[in-house]
Structure 1
């Protein structure tokens, strides 16, 4: 297993971790060949389609309090169902690279929606474009009812422009702070007047509230529409740099290397924003595999949970417990803290979340009990309905079933305990870990101890 170090690193970044069953018998397998394989298995975009929205919202607004209460309960259940469907997909799919990138775009175009069907639609836009063209994705995201609603563009009308969407489009989604002026925000907001959606969640351009006057944006003057603004932003190389810098922090190192990011931006810009071309460049670059770029990123809560599910083939009698794990670890899918998304990196770890991170693996793998504490964000209440008193610790029996036979049988014969340990962890083994391995008499127990270490939180 000596030749798999770069391939294992690739799996930790381009996917959700490498399993023993992913180890090929082909001794000549290269990282470059693995990159091709990861793209091949992610060729097709298989959308999530579990939310069927048949609610008549016009009638609902006229309805009584009882009807609204039932509607809200249905929405909460749909939000749970959508969250669990995506976790399940990430945990089982062969299209790991597509889902890993969908998770990136989910945080890049961070959005909360009070309609699960809108959230599902946006998630599928991000999935179908995850390895495609960034320009296409920005256009589709910008026209999605989830984003138009979240950033108030439904209220953006001629004579009364709402600048919220136009500002975030520049600051967070494309060119980045410092590369536009307040005048650019005001003028671009005028270009997006009239962009909205109907009761069925379909994009509608409403000409009667659109400002069709001349606008001056980034030094150009014309009767600009929203599409013109997006195209102008992508003409600026700063946008390619902004996205490349963010991707570097997600896939390579939390501290960007300006020279590498600049090279990435050149590739991205010259490829007319083809995401696949940029990713191929990153995954085949020598610096991607440097020691300083391995075992140095903190797994996000969703990557952590998904990785455990995949590594140990875990099934859940009550999958809702995953929602409690997300809440305890600080990343509830479809519920980013704000439009800037989760800050990520070292911010994932605090004393409370680290305690849960260390405890969760043994709880899942040994059928244990875990305590959930803490006061809920009111908007997260749908996810912690089982906690009747949110100030009080609640012990929950985690009914999870790992497939230990499959896991243990997938370990190549004659693999040493030390090799198993090094395979399970991204960082190099320190003296404490070496002692754990040396003293272990049972492989299963050793593995549980290894995944219950701080080192397992790194990828």
Structure 2
């Protein structure tokens, strides 16, 4: 694996490319590098910010604290793929803090995605379904026999497990009945199955008639008549997250078969994707638009800025990606979804703020002491884009030559700003 391969792998498995990580994996085989990055042993335990666990706390402040804590963890953990997958599941099984009764419900779900995001898919889905965050967000906490609520049933089939076209409207009606009684306790603290609210009559789901219960529906989807469809659905979603959009059907089929053969172990599917020829192909390189979270973390890493200093939460909402506040049950979009004038202005404002904070403590000041070409190369390396296009390098060098011919003081700050706003940092 050369340095270009290392950058590609890190752009997909981390939030930021760091020089020390490139040095760590460059020279390894591709498979060995993937296995190394999938070993989460070096990551410290995740400990919730104290405010988040207070049932009497103000939820918006608690979720702000949790978001800042999470972004800082994304920035600092040795193996950020663990957090990358937690973010993927947060978008795939989307819930919003707006609907959480308590912030610790959001924390519990975040921990589920962190601790089990690479383990058994069955366990992850079952725990997601009865988590208080999901029960509240999609209203299953008030799904009762005689008055079923179809919100969770619809999204479970359409978004979470099968995809559009792989179930009927009647299936949704019957799945909703199967999930009656799976609710929250009276204090809204924990999941509780309330038998007196469950519909015990027969239901016909996927053409099978019996007394279905909610967890049994998940079992049928993952291990029964719908297992191939379910495996294709999640294989395609994860491939698009890591590799490129609209994968060839044969690729999805191959990954789905490997996922099933591997016992629905998520780590085996992730490894199959990251070690595939398609992942390493020219088609995959630079094929994804960076999410706002990836963008701010990469900028913070390059600028040597902590979350407390950078306060990315002030801008992420305008960029369209405030953690714990996805726009709807389908989560966030991808690629062109992130390209807008509103997001561009928010990025520019964030970069200006970060530049001010960085130059105030005289970080990267050595850039002013070396030649223009070397200064640009050094700056690009700080932000993980030493492979920037010739056009970008020329534009930055020409700017620096012009600046130095006129005055001295702004060159460091302005070069920092321009690097963070370059086209190359916007893609992964």
Instruction: Using structure 2 for the length normalisation, give the TM-score.
Output: 0.86
**2:406 maps to which residue?**
none
Distance in 1 (alpha carbons) for counterparts of 2:208 and 2:254: 28
Pairwise mapping of residues 56-95 of structure 1 onto structure 2 (< 5 A)?
74-95=58-79
**1:243 maps to which residue?**
234
The CA deviation at 1:30 is 2.6
Pairwise mapping of residues 12-411 of structure 1 onto structure 2 (< 5 A)?
12-24=11-23, 28-41=27-40, 46-50=45-49, 51-55=52-56, 74-112=58-96, 113-114=99-100, 115-198=102-185, 199=187, 201-235=189-223, 236=226, 237-315=228-306, 321-367=311-357, 403-404=363-364
Gaps of at least 5 residues in structure 1 are: 56-70, 369-398, 409-413
Distance in 2 (alpha carbons) for counterparts of 1:77 and 1:431: 44
Distance in 1 (alpha carbons) for counterparts of 2:230 and 2:360: 44
Matched residue SS, 1:309: helix
Distance in 2 (alpha carbons) for counterparts of 1:437 and 1:264: 45
Gaps of at least 5 residues in structure 2 are: 368-372, 402-410
Note if contact 2:143-2:179 (Cα within 8 Å) is conserved in structure 1: yes
Distance in 1 (alpha carbons) for counterparts of 2:379 and 2:282: 20
Distance in 2 (alpha carbons) for counterparts of 1:192 and 1:402: 58
Note if contact 1:315-1:400 (Cα within 8 Å) is conserved in structure 2: no
Distance in 1 (alpha carbons) for counterparts of 2:315 and 2:94: 20
Note if contact 1:358-1:454 (Cα within 8 Å) is conserved in structure 2: no
Distance in 2 (alpha carbons) for counterparts of 1:42 and 1:447: 34
Note if contact 2:6-2:26 (Cα within 8 Å) is conserved in structure 1: no
Distance in 2 (alpha carbons) for counterparts of 1:17 and 1:284: 20
Comparing 249-258 with 136-145, greater Cα deviation is found at: 249-258
Change in Cα spacing, 1:165 to 1:7, as seen in structure 2 (3 Å) is: same
Distance in 1 (alpha carbons) for counterparts of 2:94 and 2:46: 19
The CA deviation at 1:99 is 0.1
Matched residue SS, 1:288: coil
Superposition RMSD in Å: 2.8
Change in Cα spacing, 1:26 to 1:299, as seen in structure 2 (3 Å) is: closer
Matched residue SS, 1:280: helix
Distance in 1 (alpha carbons) for counterparts of 2:246 and 2:393: 27
Comparing 439-448 with 251-260, greater Cα deviation is found at: 439-448
Matched residue SS, 2:2: helix
The CA deviation at 1:147 is 0.6
The CA deviation at 1:184 is 0.9
Change in Cα spacing, 1:45 to 1:104, as seen in structure 2 (3 Å) is: farther
